[in-house]
Amino acid sequence: MFTTLPHILIVDDSAMNLEILSAALVNEYEIETTTSGKQALALAQQLQPDLILLDVSMPEMDGFEVCQRLKQNPATAELPVIFLTSMDSHEAEAQGLALGAMDYIAKPFQIEIVRARVRNLLALHHARHTLQLALGSARLGIWQWELNGDHVWFDNSMPSPLGYAAGEMPNGPQDWADFVHPDDLLGLELCRQKLRRNVPHFEIELRLRNKQDTWTWVLVAGETLKRTGQKNTIIGTFRDIQRRKQAEQALAAREAELSTLIAALPDMILTLDMSGEISHCHLPSDTAGWPAFDCKPGQGLSQALPAELSGQLVQHLVDLMSGGGSRQFNAGIEQNGQHYRLNIKITRREDKEGYPIGFLLIIRNLFQADSTLSHSASIV
């Protein structure tokens, strides 16, 4: 599990206790000892041990004060602490746990119990640290929500996707309305209603207020943790999707611009899949002088185009399936006693690996193009 021996700092004013614990643990861990609470604070910051075994009853500065100062210092706040004590008091035990200690070991020491508790706590701390790294690299945060209220608890023990460092995220119950963009509160309320109808899971994209007091797009996912009577607890994650949303907005803007440009083109444009089915159809804004084409997505060429034209197109498509590249040809069709001359260019569409994924057809009305040129010449 560990690539190097975990480092344990043992703090006890009794030299005998230090000797007993060191002898019990030295084969599995690197050991550092001190009899002073003040010295323990300095060593903890300097060495960053994986675990601190801390005596409660010490002169000058007792273990409770040492633990409190450790937790108040951001450099040592995350170091796990196990108290060593001969006290048989539930009040003292509760006080130590409230200060942030992870466990207690009673004196006189039972060596096998000491080893087991140290081993278990280090494994738990390592797993939590690994989880923190994974969540941080994935830009994930953790939250818990009591469904019948508006309060949410954010895990502030690790860096937040909202720009907060570990320990900076507001602790304790928070109001959703203080974090969620006003325009997204309705969507959150709809999720609450679904969860009340026993829907076990939900996902929603919304904006949360970040440390800079601006908005960050996140994907919020939650799942029912327990249902006891009317109390529903939901636990979940939120993931930073700001870059994705910005990319989507930029893509939407480009697509809108492209649609505007295409709409101004005098040509008919079709995209086909590899089976020849139409996936997109653009008709020119001015269809005067064009044959009547009934073109819709989902149709085959024989449904959208006259038979004499669709037959020629199919033959070129077959050639392009194996040969690639593009084909261009002129075609004439008769419709309602009117003759039309068309120029058709077909290009095979490919993915990044060069695998064919469909076709692009550009159909130009040569009669209309000739008329435009003639009109321009007459003006000149």
Give the pLDDT of residue 149. Answer: 67
DSSP-assigned letter for residue 11: E
How many Å apart are CA 361 and CA 12, to the nearest integer?
A: 83
Any alpha helices (H) in 103-161, and if so which ranges? Answer: 111-137
User: In angstroms, what is the C-alpha Rg of the chain?
Assistant: 36
Pairing status of strand 356-365 against strand 338-350: antiparallel
Taken in order 372, 374, 375, 380, the sign of the CA dihedral is positive
Name 220's bridge partners: 204, 238
Q: DSSP 3-state assignment of 84?
A: strand
CB atoms within 10 A of CB 114: 19
**What pLDDT was estimated at residue 374?**
44
* Mean pLDDT rounded to a whole number for the chain: 83
SS (H, E, C) 309-376: HHHHHHHHHHHHHHHCCEEEEEEEEEECCEEEEEEEEEEEEECCCCCEEEEEEEEEEHHHHHHHHHHH
Measured between alpha carbons, how far is 266 from 263 in angstroms, rounded to an integer?
8
User: Which of 211-236 are b and which e, b meaning 16 or more Cβ less than 10 Å from the residue's Cβ?
Assistant: eeeebbbbbbebebeeeeeeebebeb
What domains are there in the chain, each with its CATH number?
7-135 (3.40.50.2300), 139-244 (3.30.450.20), 265-379 (3.30.450.20)
Q: From CA 12, how far away is CA 20, in angstroms rounded?
A: 11
CB-facing half-sphere around the CA of 67: CA atoms within 13 A: 27
The helix or strand, by DSSP H or E, that contains position 272, with its residue range, turns out to be strand 268-272
Q: What pLDDT, on the 0 to 100 scale, is given for residue 201?
A: 82
What per-residue confidence (pLDDT) applies to 289?
Answer: 78
Q: Indicate the pTM of the whole model.
A: 0.51
Low-confidence ranges of the chain (pLDDT < 70): 1-3, 131-139, 147-150, 157-158, 166-167, 171-172, 226-232, 368-380
Place of tokens 């040592």: 76
What is the rounded distance in angstroms from the CA atom of residue 51 to the CA atom of residue 54? 10
Question: Does residue 207 contact residue 181 with C-beta atoms inside 8 Å?
Answer: yes
Report how far apart the first and last C-alpha atoms of the chain are (Å, whole number).
85
In single-letter form, the type of residue at position 107 comes to K
CA 124: distance to chain centroid? 25
User: For residue 336, which phi and psi values (nearest 5 degrees)?
Assistant: 55, 40
Which distant-in-sequence residues (6+ apart) come within 8 Å of 271 by Cβ?
278, 279, 280, 349, 358, 359, 360, 361
In the chain, count H helices and then E strands: 11, 16
Q: Which residues sit opposite 11 in a β-bridge?
A: 34, 54
